[in-house]
Structures are given as C-alpha cells and as structure tokens.
C-alpha cells in the first residue's frame, strides 16, 4: 500500500434529513482535505441516520442518483467513504458503503449481515448484500464492511483474504451496558477488542468509524479509531463528541509486521474453502452436528 493519511469523520447525522447530512459530509471532507488527508471515512448510514423504519423508502436512492453528485464532485480532492441506503433497480433497499474517488464511485459494499435482534429491526425494512470484495484505490487495496458485518469474523477474514491492507468499518453502534462495574460502555469494549483482534490477526489496518448523537433515546458512542497491524491504537476519537481525527497509516508499519508475523502468507485458503463448502453442504442436506 501507499502511505495513507486518513480522516475519521465522527459525525452526528440528522435522522432522515439527507440535505443536512450531505452538507456535513462536504464540510468534513473539506476539513480533511485541508489536513492533507487522502481519504475521509464516515459512519454507517451517514447520509440518512440510522433508526429509519418506514423512512427507509423515502431516503433510499440508486447509487447513480443525482443527489450524490456533490460527494462525487468533492471526491476529486479526496477519497470519500460514506454510508447510505441504496435502492436497487428491482426496488430493494440495501444499506451500503460507498467509496467515491476522482469524481466517481469506485466501489460499493452492500451490508451482508443485517441485524434483527434486541433493539435492531433491520430485516423488516432492508435487504442484505451478497458479496464481500476488496477493491483497489490509488492508495492500495482496501475493503469496506458495515457494523454487523464485523460481528461475523468471517467477513473481516474474507476482506483480508481478498487482499485488503486497510479495512474501513462503518458503524452506527448504540452505547449500552453501564452496569457490572464496567469502566466503559459494554458495546465500546467489544468494538475495541474486535478492531484490535482483526488488525493483529489479519495483519492489516483497521479503520473503524462510529457516529455520535441520539435517536429516540438511543445514544451512539463514537470512539472511532485506527488500529495498526501490530495492535497499537494509532488514533481514537472521543466518546460521544463530534470529531474529525487524522491518522497516518504508513506502509512500513504493515511491511514490518507482515515480516514479523507472516500469518497472511500462511493462510490456507484451499483448506478453509474446502471445509466451509463441506459444512455448508451438510447444513443444506440437514445433517445436524
């Protein structure tokens, strides 16, 4: 990868107010350009807000919609990774992360794991994506994953196996868990552990951007961070506050850690894919184990 300067845009979107949120995107992108960044990363559903329910149908747009043009225009100066709801040609609504670069959409990732339990109800309103793919930008090979995707370690493993040196995780993670003698929110603790685990064991940079603010009494805790391949947290945004945090991701750090710990070189994709295929086949054929 090329040395990368990344801006974490820890914003507070307004629920269902795309025009307002678009203005926030352009402001943060502009500030990131002034800070000399190569890419600015926004949270999940950064253009729309999160707990949309029936608002989904009103805010979803095709990926080539004119309303995204201001972001494409701004992407001539900086790569912009952002979240929106994609309306597909056959009228499904899919939570998506897009990377805009050089005036066009370089790649779109559709969330593969919808979250429908506890306080979440995504599968009522949304459809899931079917692919995990890394993509090449001018700065190297990257991947985008969205929130619940990363609660399935296989998604991160696929992104890494597909060659991503940097994984952008876009989240709208509600803060919960203030009991049991914890010193930080239960959800924050879990995310920091996940980011560190993926960075270290997949030997890549993890860039996790979470939003802040409240929706219907639910708080989003922020705490966006960059974790280096050796597990060091390079930068972390404050909890609960809007912030633009800049971090440098040098290739040398990746090279040295891959040299020390050649886990990627030794990953046995043939073994993994063969065993997963066997297990999936047995599940399909109804063999319990």
Partner 1 sequence: MASTTETSLQNRARHGLQLDTALAEQVLVRFIADAISKFGFTRAVVATSGGIDSALTCALAARALGPTNVLALMLPYRTGNPASRGDAETLVQALGVESHVIDVSQAVDGYLEELDDDTTPVRRGNVMARTRMIATYDQSEAFDALVAGTSNKTELLLGYGTLHGDMASAVNPIGDLYKTQVRQLAVALDLPSAILDKPPSADLWEGQSDEDELGFTYGVADEVLYLLVDEWHTPDEIVAGGYDADLVTEIRRRVQQTQFKRRPPVIAKLSDRTIDRDFRYPRDWGR
Shortest separation between residue 54's beta carbon and partner 1, angstroms? 5
Shortest separation between residue 183's beta carbon and partner 1, angstroms? 6
- Sequence-separated (6 or more) residues with CB below 8 Å from residue 74: 25, 26, 29, 30, 80, 100
Separation of alpha carbons 112 and 143, rounded Å: 13
Shortest separation between residue 33's beta carbon and partner 1, angstroms? 29
Which CB atom, from 56 or from 203, has the smaller least distance to partner 1? 56
Shortest separation between residue 214's beta carbon and partner 1, angstroms? 4
Long-range contacts of 101-107 (CB under 8 A, 24+ apart): 101/75, 101/137, 101/138, 102/75, 102/76, 102/138, 103/72, 103/73, 103/75, 103/76, 104/72, 104/75, 105/63, 105/64, 105/68, 105/72, 106/79, 106/135, 106/137, 107/133, 107/135, 107/144
Which CB atom, from 184 or from 251, has the smaller least distance to partner 1? 184
Shortest separation between residue 128's beta carbon and partner 1, angstroms? 20
Which CB atom, from 214 or from 276, has the smaller least distance to partner 1? 214
Which CB atom, from 6 or from 22, has the smaller least distance to partner 1? 22
Which CB atom, from 13 or from 229, has the smaller least distance to partner 1? 13
Shortest separation between residue 168's beta carbon and partner 1, angstroms? 27
The residues of the shown chain that bind partner 1, judged by CB under 8 A, are 14-17, 51-55, 175, 178-185, 213-217, 219, 239-240
Whether the Cβ atoms of residue 141 and residue 165 lie closer than 8 Å to each other = yes
Which CB atom, from 51 or from 93, has the smaller least distance to partner 1? 51
Count Cβ atoms within 10 A of the Cβ of residue 75 and give its class: 0-12 exposed, 13-18 middle, 19 or more buried: buried
- Measure the N-to-C terminal CA separation of the chain; round to a whole number of Å: 42
């Amino acid at each position: 990868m090329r040395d990368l300067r990344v801006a974490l845009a820890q914003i507070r979107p307004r629920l269902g107010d795309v025009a307002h949120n678009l203005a926030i995107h352009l402001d943060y992108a502009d500030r990131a350009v002034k800070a000399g960044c190569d890419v600015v990363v926004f949270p999940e559903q950064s253009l729309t807000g999160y707990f949309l329910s029936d608002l989904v149908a009103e805010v979803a747009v095709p990926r080539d919609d004119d309303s995204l043009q201001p972001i494409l225009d701004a992407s001539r100066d900086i790569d912009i990774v952002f979240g929106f709801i994609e309306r597909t040609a056959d009228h499904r609504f899919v939570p998506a992360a897009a990377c805009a670069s050089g005036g066009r959409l370089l790649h779109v990732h559709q969330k593969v794991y919808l979250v429908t339990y506890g306080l979440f109800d995504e599968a009522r309103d949304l459809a899931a994506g079917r692919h995990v793919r890394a993509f090449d930008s001018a700065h190297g090979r990257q991947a985008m994953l969205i929130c619940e995707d990363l609660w399935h370690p296989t998604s991160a493993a696929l992104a890494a196996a597909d060659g991503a040196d940097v994984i952008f995780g876009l989240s709208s993670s509600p803060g919960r868990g203030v009991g049991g003698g914890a010193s930080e929110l239960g959800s924050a603790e879990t995310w920091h552990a996940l980011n560190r685990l993926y960075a270290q064991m997949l030997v890549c940079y993890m860039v996790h951007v979470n939003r802040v603010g409240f929706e219907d009494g639910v708080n989003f805790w922020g705490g966006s961070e960059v974790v280096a391949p050796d597990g060091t947290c390079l930068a972390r945004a404050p909890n609960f506050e809007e912030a633009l945090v800049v971090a440098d991701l040098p290739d040398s750090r990746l090279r040295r850690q891959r040299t020390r710990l050649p886990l990627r070189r030794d990953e046995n994709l043939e073994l993994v894919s063969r065993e997963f295929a066997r297990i999936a086949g047995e599940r399909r054929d109804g063999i319990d184990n």
